Structure 1
Amino acid sequence: IASHVSSMYRSVMMVNGEKERVSLLFTKSLVSTGSVDAVSQQMASHPQYLESFLRTQHYILHMDGPLPLPYRHYIAIMAAARHHCNYLVYLHSAQFLRVGGDPLWLHGLEAAPPRLRLLDHINKVLAHQPWLTACSHIQTLLKSGEQYWSLAELVQAVVILAHCHSLCSFVFGCGTKSDLVPLSKSPNGTPPTFCHFDAANGNTNVPQSPITPSEHITRRRVMDQTRLYLSDSCRVKCSMFFFFEKMPCLPLFVCIFIEEVICFADPTRFITEPDFCYQEFARREEDHFQVFRVQDYSWEDHGFSLVNRLYSDIGHLLDDRFRSVTTLPSLHSPDLKRAIWNYIHCVLGIRYDDYDYGEVNQLLERDLKLYIKAVACFPDATKTPVCPLSMAPLKSSERIYVNLLIMEARLQAELLYALRAITQYMIA
């Protein structure tokens, strides 16, 4: 009996510890951004990973770096627009304005400075067919002149692009099944239907009348009503927060009131060649796309050191994300995790010579493979076909975990292609 009671006590303490960790992370988010966004709420079932994710995201978007803050959020808009991810486009449009970005840039890509427009091609390629990323693309961006990029600036831009592309996969992967149904384009360039994450952030009332892409309104509203299990040590007294006293056995409710800029930037105005999308990695004789072999260029031996040297500390933060997601406690076996990771890399043209790909078909059911490929390769609200996820027996946290694996595997794949091209440029 004593042993059983001790085991139960340890379990309770572990659960309370996880809640404490999540509440602390949410409190930090409230203080720094004024809200707990829908992405963080979805990831909260895996606090160890959430901490690593938020640390990386905060670093690339807000901390010291070669790119000015408005550039960072505009690059994020460009990346999210490739997948018509309204949630991220609107989120970064508002943040772009908050950090002093020029509202005219939100009229579309043609209104942005030439330096940002130069990123359009590598943004398009990394988002849809990363194996096309070439040394020549890097060379074009790094030509001398005021409108061109320094190597440090380009590396930060590439990290933001890859981060947002992969985050689009998570946003659509964690939405309802209806999010995978093609959304009809609204007439006159008005925004398409909001995805699941928009509703989670309170953006459920979208004007259906035509609206200027750069038009925005400012209004005071409740940004979020989030159930947080905040301990006394985590409570933060701040003018923007209104804490309701916690009742016995009930969670603390937090209402955040802020002056929010609502910006309805149309994603289609930030992309060129809208028909350019994912295609099966070519294996036919008439095509000359070479398989990316990890034995020749890997994250551990090549990518990590390069990105960390050109963009201080980001390599450690990214590496922590990759390690966190693969070591999280999960119902999935290590073999299944590896099968998911390697399958995503395979459909993006990356192969491991020491892996038996027969395990992919043995461990992944057909519906799961279809889902993984859809979320990893074309998480686009306007193009993604209906693709059911036969994971009903799994808990919500386990389904979210699969989407975390998809996101991180895709992120690493894009970074490998981009960093290899940069390496080829540097040694050419």
Structure 2
Amino acid sequence: MEESELRWLFTRLATRDATERSLALAEIEVTGGELVPNGSPNGTGDGMRIGSNDHCADGTLIESALSKNVTSTRFLAHILRLAIQCPFSDVRERCKAVLQGVKEQGGKIPRQCGTGPSSFIPNSEIQGVENGADEQVREIFTDVFVQSQRLDHLTAVMGLHPQYLAAFCRTQDFMLRGNGPLPYDYRNYIAILTAARHRCSYVMGLQESEFLSQGGDREWLQGLEHVPPKIQDLYELIKLLSHRPWLITQELIEKLLKGPHNWTLSELVQACVLISHFTSLPSFIYGCGINPEIDMDGGHTLRPPSLTDESGLSNNNKPNEESAGGNVEELVQKMKNIEKQSDTEDSQEEKVKKFEKVREQSGKLLPRSPGSCGEREDITPFVQDPSFLYEDFARRGENSQFQTFRAQDYTWEDQGYSLVNRYYPDVSQLMDDKLGVAYNMTYNTMGHKKQVDTSLLRRAIWNYIHSLYGIRHDDYDYGEINELLDRQLKTYIKTIACYPDRTTKHDYDSFWLDFKHSEKVHVNVMVLEARIQASLLYCLRAIMRYMT
């Protein structure tokens, strides 16, 4: 088998047709080929292909490979991934048997690094294909696996909120595989370039794999210098949307639409949607401590397990109760106090002063220095101007040279939705549904307390995220943010929203000590969606100004 045939084999395993799966499983264990090194031609370190010229006596792929001591660790990592994550029990059991056969014949089999999809959240908290996923989650997991041939860690963690996961999957699937003016390989490559701005090798790895499966040119994966000028021209927009979207101007839009390698309006709107999505996704990835996929670099190892691996998540960074903010009882009482004061309303001038105060205080929240995030060494070819990062919209003690984005002047509901729907039909409704789920999602619980109206807290988090990007809601009392969001939570939100690759487990542990993990993941969902909305509003407004 060539590499394309190997990909086809895994595709056949990702089908609801049990008969087809059975035939594909037979090819994993019994075939006339052998595993031989191939120098990793696709640059992913596979180091193997399946050849079909040399036939061994008994015709088994595993024994043939073992006899020559060339069994591919990467190939076995794929088998391990299926043995753990595949929603189809027949595939899981057969893959476990293959791995056991390799082990019994003296071969080295890889094991998963870490204890599950997240390095922040105990595996026992996350629903899996074998540990009690409810029917709704199991169905979503199966759909994701059939569509992409894997049940990725992002999906597993997002499964803590099934309603949002369903909306997220529908939207992302349409962006990458549905109708639209951009070729499929362009979509994946834009995702790769955007994820690289936040050094998110996790998203890059998944998108590179899909890029190749869509027939993408392998040479493009060597970096920006190897792609068509049209994509190179888009990079300035990617850079600005990723870090400082308020710098996007109608002049930049005009340059893209009228340049020598011009984009059409429909193509540009789709590109803006993709960039906004994939520049925000690292906030969720890093904020939840998503581990590499089993078949990725860093996702498997041949080393024996250590005591740390066996004991699960380390608590070395866990803060003491005195330093961790967000006590449930205290927050509930603050929300009650705010509701009692709702009859009195500040003047517009006073509301602006409170907004400026929140923004000034945010400037004092400094993220940690960049740490070791397990990032790829070959990320540099995809990044230009790496020193261009997020800067506070208005620095402390300075008047901003940029005008605050008044949310009422250009809204998603009144202008953004219709503009996207005009040039990129169907995705606008999917995005609107996903946004609505994220904004309104509640289980009416906070920690151990039930029957709690969480709307004030959710709105404070959402509007705080927007304030980091210079967006002000005229009808909101920004004093509520300082009442409801403690310093630890603000620092965490600013870190994952603006510098996601600097997020540590200490940051995750430092807020809401007595809240559930699912509630912390809920915060990450809101950061993801509010960030998407902020980016989209800036670029869509610039497009509208160009058009008028």
For the criterion TM > 0.5, the same-fold answer is yes
- Does the residue aligned with 1:167 lie in a helix, a strand or coil? helix
Residue number among 204, 207, 210 corresponding to 1:95 in the alignment: 210
- Shift in Å, 1:367: 0.2
2:205–2:296 contact (8 Å) kept in structure 1 = no
Q: Do the aligned residues in 2 keep the contact of 1:141 with 1:148 (CA within 8 Å)?
A: yes
Q: Name the structure 2 match of 1:155.
A: 269
Q: Given that residues 75 and 160 in structure 1 are in contact (C-alpha distance below 8 angstroms), is that contact kept between their aligned partners in structure 2?
A: yes
SS in 1 for 2:175: helix
1:394 is matched with: 515
Deviates most, 345-354 or 324-333 = 324-333
Q: Aligned pair 1:116/2:237, yes or no?
A: no
Q: How does 1:38-187 map to 2 (within 5 A)?
A: 38-143=153-258, 145=260, 147-175=261-289
Residues 206 and 78 of structure 1: CA distance in aligned 2, closer, same or farther (over 3 Å): farther
- Structure 2 CA distance for aligned equivalents of residues 206 and 136 of structure 1: 47
Q: Which residue of 1 aligns with 2:483?
A: 362
SS at match of 1:198: coil
* Whole-angstrom CA distance in 2 between matches of 1:90 and 1:112: 18
Q: Do the aligned residues in 1 keep the contact of 2:291 with 2:299 (CA within 8 Å)? A: no
Q: Deviations over 1:59-95 (max 9, x none)?
A: 0000111000110000000100000001011111111
CA, structure 1 residues 205+301, in 2 after alignment: closer, same or farther (shift >3 Å)?
closer
Does the aligned pair in 2 maintain the 1:84–1:268 contact within 8 Å?
Answer: no
| 1:152/1:95 CA distance change after superposition, 3 Å | same
Other structure's SS at 1:266 match? helix
1:278 aligns with 2:390: yes
Aligned to 2:378: 266
CA contact under 8 A between 1:107 and 1:265: conserved in structure 2?
A: no
Aligned-pair identity in percent equals 47
1:100 is paired with a residue whose SS is coil
Query: In the superposition, relative to structure 1, how do residues 305 and 325 fare at CA in structure 2: closer, same or farther (>3 Å)?
Result: same
Query: Which residue number corresponds to residue 324 of structure 1?
Result: 437
Q: Are 1:33 and 2:153 an aligned pair?
A: no
Which structure is higher in RCO with an 8 Å CA cutoff and minimum separation 6? 1
**Per-residue CA distance 1:142-192 (angstroms, 9 max, x = gap):** 0154x21000001111111110111110000000xxxxxxxxxxxxxxxxx
**1:411 and 2:532 correspond:** yes
Separation in structure 1 between the aligned mates of residue 523 and residue 398 of structure 2, nearest angstrom: 34
Distance in 2, matches of 1:343 and 1:325, equals 15
- SS in structure 2 at match of 1:353: coil
The superposition leaves residues 309-343 of structure 1 with CA deviations (integer Å, 9 ceiling, x where unpaired) of 11001111111011101222243510000000000
1:299 aligns with 2:420: no
TM-score, length-scaled by structure 1 = 0.74
- Alpha-carbon separation, structure 2, partners of 1:31 and 1:395: 31
Q: Post-superposition shift, 1:36?
A: 0.8
The alpha-carbon deviation at position 206 of structure 1 amounts to 7.9
Q: 2: CA distance between counterparts of 1:202 and 1:80?
A: 16
Q: Is the 8 A contact 2:223 2:381 kept in 1?
A: yes
What is the alpha-carbon distance in structure 1 between the residues aligned to residue 254 and residue 148 of structure 2?
37
Query: What displacement does 1:266 show?
Result: 2.2
Q: TM-score, normalised by structure 2?
A: 0.58
- After TM superposition, where is structure 1 displaced by more than 6 Å over at least 4 residues in a row? 383-386
Q: Which residue of 2 aligns with 1:340?
A: 461
Question: How many aligned residue pairs are there?
Answer: 334
Higher percent of residues as strand: 1
1:9 equivalent in structure 2: none
What whole-Å deviation, never above 9, does each CA across 1:353-389 have from its counterpart, x for those lacking one? 11110100000011000000111111125x9896453
Paired residues of 2:460 and 2:485 also in contact (CA < 8 A): yes
Deviations 1:195-230 (A, max 9, x none): x431566643689xxxxxxxxxxxxxxxxxxxxxxx
For the residues of structure 1 that align with 2:287 and 2:294, how far apart are their CA atoms?
15
* 8 Å Cα contact 1:18/1:47 also seen in 2: no
- Partners in 2 of 1:201 and 1:347 — Cα distance? 36
2-structure distance, mates of 1:384, 1:400: 15
Contact 2:292/2:299 (<8 A) preserved: no
**Matched-pair contact (CA < 8 Å) for 2:471–2:534:** yes
Question: What is the CA–CA distance in structure 2 between the aligned matches of 1:144 and 1:206, rounded to whole Å?
Answer: 46
Structure 1 letter corresponding to 2:498:
C
Does structure 1 residue 349 correspond to structure 2 residue 349? Answer: no
